[in-house]
């Protein structure tokens, strides 16, 4: 059985939406963690999570530039 994503029709759209939702989830979780760490005075942890937010935003932008056909 193949584990490759289905890149035909609905499968491609579903895979794309799944990947986009994963990145948005990453953004939400990392932003919440950054807020908590900032309140606790953890500068390094805050910066690490803000980098996760930026990286996930970059990946979202790439996904939005290449929506499924």
Tens of pLDDT, residue by residue over 3-32, are 555 556 789 999 999 999 999 999 999 999
Top-confidence residue, 3 or 49: 49
Give the contacts of 68 (CB within 8 A, at least 6 positions apart): 12, 13, 15, 16
pLDDT surpassing 70 at residue 37: yes
How much of the chain, in percent, has pLDDT values that exceed 70? 88
Q: What pLDDT does residue 10 have?
A: 87
Give domain limits for the chain.
14-65
In whole angstroms, what is the distance from residue 39 CA to residue 48 CA?
Answer: 15
pTM for this model (two decimals)? 0.83
**For residues 28-54, average pLDDT:** 99
């Amino acid at each position: 059985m193949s584990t490759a994503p289905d890149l035909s029709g609905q499968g491609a759209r579903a895979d794309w939406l799944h990947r986009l939702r994963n990145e948005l989830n990453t953004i939400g979780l990392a932003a919440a963690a950054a807020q908590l760490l900032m309140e606790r005075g953890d500068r390094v942890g805050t910066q690490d999570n803000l980098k996760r937010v930026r990286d996930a935003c970059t990946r979202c932008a790439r996904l939005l530039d290449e929506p499924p056909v």
